[in-house]
Chain A
């Protein structure tokens, strides 16, 4: 049985629907992520799971029990807030001890468990400090330790890394994964950063305007986005309007005036259907226009610009019909950071099994 079941949950504010008939399940031990742009309803959904808010319709079920009549303090669910929400008048140790005290644990056990939790998040020697004497990363650790110390069935994390700088965030991501594996607590993690979601999660639900657009494992989500929104939101993607010219083992797509390409087949598409063709920049090969390519799909273009990222360089190429495609080249050859200059004529190509045809 799934640990958490969200069944057709909706939440309306006036005539605005913040969460619209959302359903999903989270398995025990899973790192589950709700990913979506700002305002798509992630926090609203999380608040209903925590018990600060009630759904207008639908049910939230934990371990087979409907939580509707269970107040927040009785749910075996803890939350790590984006603002940390540490108690300012309590020391680090007192903050972490709080859930244990509320659960009525004996002093001895509280002391032992707090010491363990402090070690787990590497806060030794800081136990007697107050929150205002901690850095952002340290506060984050206290919030995590406090959320985990009483071993909840479920830990909700609302953009917990949002306030940290890039370097610290990366470090905390690694520690989050380590912690989650270590304690075996189920995580429901909220973020609007697709990179964070891909790096951390077992499964990701992509939300938009209060609905779940797609729910999948990170590599499936990235490799096989179901629709235009997901393709665009997760990672970078090249898009081109397309019409199905022929179906069969592979699809034949008409990319406007650009010409025809071969693309992976999809169930239920008929000739004449309009949509978009999407392909990731790293699936597009780039070489000098004079060189030949073995790929079935190829177009010549002119380098418009390039972005040197460090490990890779992204080339932005103008196609004959005025559309722009991006192609990615790793800079693994020593001393090579640039293969093409702006204005160079290049050949873009990709295999028949690369990319996907999606509904518009």
Chain B
């Protein structure tokens, strides 16, 4: 393919639009000034401050715990849902699984809040309710990825496994699971990132006692956008990047976007 200069310029502009704000955040997290205005000098002060900030650390711990547990649950349930959607060609099943994906977050947040309060009472809002809420909206994402992975597969492979003596469980463990693993990993990753930066649903279901990282950042910037916020955002970015690289290692074809 010939590369025209115009195409080059256009793609450069798009990438700039995407990445310049991120670069700005990273750069100013190392800036020796309280203002996000001009470069003064390099410092790690904001990171020191961040790690001395007990509230922030507590929020980060909460976020990590929620993301790990919710993405693990969503991965297991979502994989099962994806397989079920593939196996039983019902119309209702995808509809029910995918609705939380398409639903406006605010609606999901409000309805989960009402559900938790009316069924378990006001004081039930806790880490547990956040985890349940996050699991709920992540299942659909995992299920879609797993199902699309299965959709391209020759059905007779699974019959062949049974035919050659594998029980249904052995077929799942030795054939189905390894084949959908890239999808499962991608789904888990997606669930983790969705969970760790979720604000709206967490806001409704967390109650007072469970600050998460996004909630904490929100509280902080209500006062002022300090370089500390830049620092925590940079770390969050680093975490996400690591996960993507990791996923690329475990399941190379996820990043290449091939089935």
Contact = CB atoms under 8 A, between A and B. Distances in A.
Interface of A: 50-52, 71-74, 77-79, 81, 83, 85-89, 98-99, 102-103, 146-147, 150
Contacts of B27: none
Contact of A85 (B154, B165, B166, B167): B154
B165 A102 contact: yes
A146 B157 CA distance: 13
Contact of A87 (B157, B162, B167, B170): B157
A89 B179 contact: yes
B166 A73 contact: yes
Contacts of B119: none
B182 to A, nearest CB: 10
Contacts of B167: 73
B157 A99 contact: no
B122 interface: no
Which 3 A-B residue pairings sit nearest by Cβ, starting from the closest? Answer: A102-B165, A85-B160, A99-B164
Main secondary structure of the interface of B (DSSP, over half): helix
B156 A85 contact: yes
B175 interface: yes
A85 B159 contact: yes
A87 B156 contact: no
Given A81-B156, A102-B170, A87 B161 contact: yes
Given A50-B159, A73-B163, 9 more contacts: A52-B162, A52-B163, A72-B163, A74-B165, A87-B161, A89-B179, A98-B174, A102-B166, A146-B164
B178 interface: yes
A86 B165 CA distance: 15
A71 B165 CA distance: 10
Interface in B128-175: 154, 156-157, 159-167, 170, 174-175
Contacts of B164: 73, 78, 98-99, 102, 146-147, 150
A251 B162 CA distance: 56
Given A73-B167, A102-B170, A85 B162 contact: no
Contacts of A147: 164
B155 to A, nearest CB: 9
Contacts of A87: 157, 160-161, 175
Contacts of A83: 154, 156
A130 to B, nearest CB: 13
A88 B159 contact: no
Contacts of B162: 51-52, 71-73
Contacts of B179: 88-89
Contacts of B154: 83, 85
B237 to A, nearest CB: 34
Contacts of B175: 87
A99 B166 CA distance: 8
B165 A50 contact: no
Contacts of A79: 159-160, 163
A258 B164 CA distance: 59
Nearest to B179: A89
26 contacts: A50-B159, A50-B163, A52-B159, A52-B163, A71-B162, A72-B159, A73-B163, A73-B164, A73-B166, A78-B163, A78-B164, A79-B159, A83-B154, A85-B154, A85-B157, A85-B159, A86-B157, A87-B160, A87-B175, A89-B179, A98-B161, A98-B174, A99-B165, A102-B164, A147-B164, A150-B165
Contacts of A103: 165
A86 B179 CA distance: 12
A99 B160 CA distance: 10
Nearest to A88: B179
A103 B170 CA distance: 12
A72 B166 CA distance: 9
A85 B154 CA distance: 7
Contacts of B160: 79, 81, 85-87
Nearest to B181: A89
A103 B164 CA distance: 9
A260 B139 CA distance: 80
B77 to A, nearest CB: 24
B157 A73 contact: no
Nearest to A103: B165
Nearest to B165: A102
A78 B170 CA distance: 17
Interface in B50-105: none
Contacts of B156: 81, 83, 85
Nearest to A102: B165
A147 B166 CA distance: 13
Nearest to A82: B156
A78 B179 CA distance: 22
A71 B170 CA distance: 14
B175 to A, nearest CB: 6
Nearest to B157: A85
Nearest to A147: B164
A78 B161 CA distance: 10
B162 to A, nearest CB: 4
B30 to A, nearest CB: 45
B170 to A, nearest CB: 7
A78 B160 CA distance: 8
Contacts of A52: 159, 162-163
A102 B163 CA distance: 10
A145 to B, nearest CB: 12
